[in-house]
Amino acid sequence: MKFRIPAAAIALSAALVMTGCAVTFDPGKGATTIAESTQASIEKDFPVGSATNKRVLMKLGPPSEKSKEAGYEVWQYKYVKNTSVSVMFVNKPMESKKTAVFYFNEATGVLEKADFKEE
C-alpha cells in the first residue's frame, strides 16, 4: 500500500513553516526625555506650586512647542514611537504617543498645572 500526502497538507505545512511573526520598533521621535514618563512620575518630578520652568528645562530639555495662554506660558513635550507587527505577511503599524504639557505662571515661572496624556 502506497502512502500519499494530500496536496492541501503539503501546502498547509509550507505555509506554517513560512509564516512568521516580526516586530520592529523605531527609536521614537520628539522629546525622548518623556519616553518613559507617566502621570505619576511627572507629578513627582515637577510638583505644582514649587517646580519652575528652569527645573523642567534642566530635566527635560527644550520643549517641542511653546505658547502663551491667559497668563500662562505653556510648554508641550511630544514623543511618538512607531511599532510594526507582521503576522503572515500582513503588516500592522501601531503608534504610541505621549504628551506632557506644563502651565507656568507667566510672571513667576512657577508651575501651576501639569497634564500628561498617553495614547
Per-residue model confidence (pLDDT) at position 119:
85
C-alpha cell at 97: 504617543
Segment 80-92, tens digit of pLDDT: 877 655 665 666 6
Segment 10-56, tens digit of pLDDT: 554 555 445 555 555 555 666 677 888 889 999 999 999 999 999 99
Band of residue 68 on the pLDDT scale cut at 50, 70, 90: very high
Distance of alpha carbon 82 from its chain centroid, rounded?
8
Prediction pTM value: 0.69
13 within domain boundaries: no
Q: Is 68 helix (H, G, I), strand (E, B) or coil?
A: strand
What is the tally of structural domains in the chain? Answer: 1
Query: What is the extent of the structural domain holding 96?
Result: 30-118
DSSP string across 81-119 = EEEEEEETTEEEEEEEEEEEEEEEETTT-BEEEEEEEE-
5 within domain boundaries: no
56 within domain boundaries: yes
